[in-house]
Structure 1
């Protein structure tokens, strides 16, 4: 997988591109390669966070495919081996600044004790701010959760539930140089009290040119059913290509 990301990085670096969608731009590819390394006398730790996203945008519909892999070790012990793959779409209708959304998401996570998880559903979203350089969006909907998890170190459980999925998402571009992105999810079970999922990400980027950005990311994830959480701080490069 690291070889694939490296090849993609070299391919993207050979192109020049504009900085946003326009009337003739329908496709957008983004590669994020970030990580952190800590070496000390008493041990060492490292974390790799790689993501690849493909976006297709038309006048009335947008389709996105995202894959993300986090891998880390501390003093030789595995801390993260977390993979997520998502396909989602937005369907734009006559309501200004609003759209319907749907998604299918598959996860595995060593750090969150998820052997495998499938989330699928849909809902509606509304953009409070919707400008090229400023974006603030809220959405809500219903997801079906089919999971295989470890509730303890020795107990494995298969279960399913319906969740309400609330999201707050924002994007700011400051002086065509600094990007600020944040996505926050709260997904409560509709049938199980105290069963919830929290996902929160915050990204800060400094654009070098139209296709290359120095990028840092802070993400927090918590699953109440496995009593597990993680906090990840990484930094690296974001490469993007519009065509």
Structure 2
């Protein structure tokens, strides 16, 4: 078959894949709208009467020029429960992107984390985490982390919170090394995190966090993760959001820098 014919078949296949991705995202948005329209208009933040939160977001970027098209789609969901001295969060996210010729991102992350607060010192708390990651862009086939630690809220005001935490993680990973060989290993990491939350009159919100996770058993093995989100509430439970994420995996010598913008649906009950 002529080369042009192969190219045509390939582009048709990619086009069909893009249509499928767009259809999935559209169903996600429609489901989110249906869900929120049917559960009411309660909104705000955690309180004595509002102890549960559902947060759904869809975002992405598209860039089409005469030389081709690039796209990035990012969908995520979060469910949180807060009691007097206990908070639990479950999170799931899927990032997919590329060009008409190649796939650049197919990254999945799921986690469960909890905080247990000290009654005598409310700004001091314990945390626990179980996290799963699979990332095409960072060359991680699978990574499972679990651990415990301590945290302290240095600033804890109604519109501003800044905290620092530290702990120990056990990790089991299967990665693709720079020489393209698969490598499975286990390690123990220290996990240092800085976290910031700021809001202005429930209209503008800024949240950010940064992780540094060096291995305690392997030299030159560390993970850096940072994220920053800026949101503008446009109507009760609807927020326009811009997210900036950076990830570095020294073991695979891979990093990514991701900027997306989209919409967030958030409901307290």
Normalising by structure 2, report the TM-score.
0.87
1:155-178 deviations in Å (ceiling 9; x for gaps): 000001000000001111013211
Moved more, 207-216 or 52-61: 207-216
SS of alignment partner, residue 32 of structure 2: helix
Q: Counterpart of 2:115?
A: 90
Q: Does 1:168 align with 2:194?
A: yes
* CA–CA distance in structure 2, aligned partners of residues 35 and 25 of structure 1: 31
Q: Does 1:79 align with 2:101?
A: no
Q: Does 1:35 align with 2:60?
A: yes
Written as runs of structure 1 = structure 2, the 5 A alignment for 1:1-243 is: 2=25, 3-4=27-28, 6-14=30-38, 15-94=40-119, 95-152=121-178, 154-243=180-269
Deviation at 1:139, TM superposition (A): 0.4
Q: Is the 8 A contact 1:202 1:219 kept in 2?
A: yes
Moved more, 221-230 or 150-159: 150-159
Bigger helix share:
2
Greater RCO (CA < 8 Å, at least 6 residues apart): 1
Deviation at 1:239, TM superposition (A): 0.6
* CA–CA distance in structure 2, aligned partners of residues 124 and 5 of structure 1: 37
Unaligned runs of 5+ in 2: 1-23
* CA–CA distance in structure 2, aligned partners of residues 47 and 230 of structure 1: 13
Deviation at 1:129, TM superposition (A): 1.3
| Larger-gyration structure (1/2) | 2
Deviation at 1:153, TM superposition (A): 5.2
After TM superposition, which residue ranges in structure 1, 4 or more long, deviate above 6 angstroms?
none
Q: Is the 8 A contact 2:32 2:265 kept in 1?
A: no
* CA–CA distance in structure 2, aligned partners of residues 6 and 47 of structure 1: 19
Bigger strand share:
1
Size of the alignment, in residue pairs?
243
* CA–CA distance in structure 2, aligned partners of residues 167 and 210 of structure 1: 31
Deviation at 1:9, TM superposition (A): 3.7
1:71-101 deviations in Å (ceiling 9; x for gaps): 0012331000000000011111232301100
Deviation at 1:134, TM superposition (A): 1.0
Question: RMSD in angstroms over aligned alpha carbons?
Answer: 1.3
Seen in structure 2, the aligned counterparts of structure 1 residues 220 and 182 have a Cα distance that, compared at 3 Å, is: same
